[in-house]
Structure formats: C-alpha cells, structure tokens
Homo-oligomer: A and B are copies of this chain.
Amino acid sequence: MLKHGILGLLNYGSMTGYEINKAFRDSLSYFWNAQTSQIYRELQTLKKNGWATDEVVEQTGKPDKKAFSITESGREELNRWLVEDNAEFVTRLPVLMKTFFRGERSVDENIDYFTKLSDTVMAFLSKLQNEPPKVADYAKNLRDPIDAIYWKMTVEFGAMYVQMFLDWVNKCKEELEEIKNGNQEIQNTADNPDRF
C-alpha cells in the first residue's frame, strides 16, 4: 500500500527518501502515517521491481543524497492500482475496540477516558485550523494544477472526519454523565435491547 503512495509521489518528479518522508508528514498524514524506516525499505522494493531507479547526487555543504525516479513500468503499476476497484472505507480503529470493551471499567473512569480523547481531538482540530496543510506549498511548483483538487479533497476529508470524531466523543461523554446522574437509561437498554 505504502508502495503506491511512494510511486504516486515519484510520479510528480524525482525525490529522495528524505523528501518522501517529509511529504508524507506534511500532506498525507491525515490518512497515512509512514515510518521512515519503511519508506527506505519500500524504495528498495520499488527499485527491485523495476518501478523506480536511483541516482546518487553529490551536494556541497550537505550530505550526498539518493534521488529516485519513477520508470515507465512504475507508472503502469501506479495506474493499474488507481484503476483497480476496491472500495474499502472502513478500517481498523483501535480506539473503537477499546470503547467496545469499556464495560470492564467504571463509568467515572470512562468519563475520564472520553474527556482525554476529546482534549486530544480538539488540540488536533485547532492545530489544523491554525497552520493550514502544507499541501498548498507543493501545489505551486508541480506540473499539473488539477492535482491540487484531489489533494484538497483529502484535506477536506481530514477536517470532516476530525469534526465528526469530536462530536461522537462528546456525545459518548454526555451519555455517561447522564448515567452517572441517576438516569434510567441503563435499565431501559437492558429491557429493550432491540432499540439499537
């Protein structure tokens, strides 16, 4: 999977592992966290598959770097992947797994759990709003302005997702607070489990 992300970046132009790493952090982190070590490993795989070539570039005042370029075969692979249909939109979410089993802990502790989560998400949201995504910088110097449309879509997804997540967390928290304040919802739910 990461392979195709790297291939997609190389398709915009030659890049070093270091630059790819930065691109992931700056622009793709809304939906993909790439480990530096994995990036360097996948670059070797791309080369082995004939999807990319590398070239050492000597620099003055900086360490040498290794620039990777996509090959014709790599471009074909990228397109094969883009066209292949595969509409998975549900992924593994550890945070939901932990929520599912929270009946094992006390209501008070779980209120804390959601409060902490809410704080984390809010911090993320305000960071999003204060420092706009760096994809914009890339938009300037790349071949085709149409690319920016799709980049913007993923950023938009990030914003919508985070907002929805925050709404959900707050809703959960409120529900627990109601239960704590002696509301009868627990019993009702137990009596009529079909309601959800």
Contacts and interface: CB of A to CB of B under 8 A. Distances in A.
> What is the oligomeric copy number?
2
Contact of A31 (B85, B96, B154): B96
A169 to B, nearest CB: 9
The SS class assigned to the A binding surface is helix
B103 A146 contact: yes
A82 B105 contact: yes
B133 A196 contact: yes
Residues of A in contact with B, size category: 35 or more
A101 to B, nearest CB: 4
A150 B102 CA distance: 6
Contacts of A144: 103
A136 B175 CA distance: 18
Interface of A: 1, 4-5, 8, 11, 27-33, 78-79, 81-83, 85-105, 107, 109-110, 116-117, 120-121, 132-133, 135-137, 139-140, 144-158, 160-162, 164-165, 167-168, 171-172, 175-176, 179, 185-187, 189-190, 193-196
4 residue pairs, one from A and one from B, having the closest CB atoms: A145-B190, A103-B147, A31-B96, A8-B101
21 contacts: A1-B92, A4-B101, A8-B97, A8-B101, A11-B101, A31-B96, A33-B90, A78-B101, A83-B105, A83-B109, A87-B95, A89-B95, A89-B120, A90-B161, A100-B154, A103-B144, A136-B194, A145-B189, A148-B193, A149-B186, A152-B189
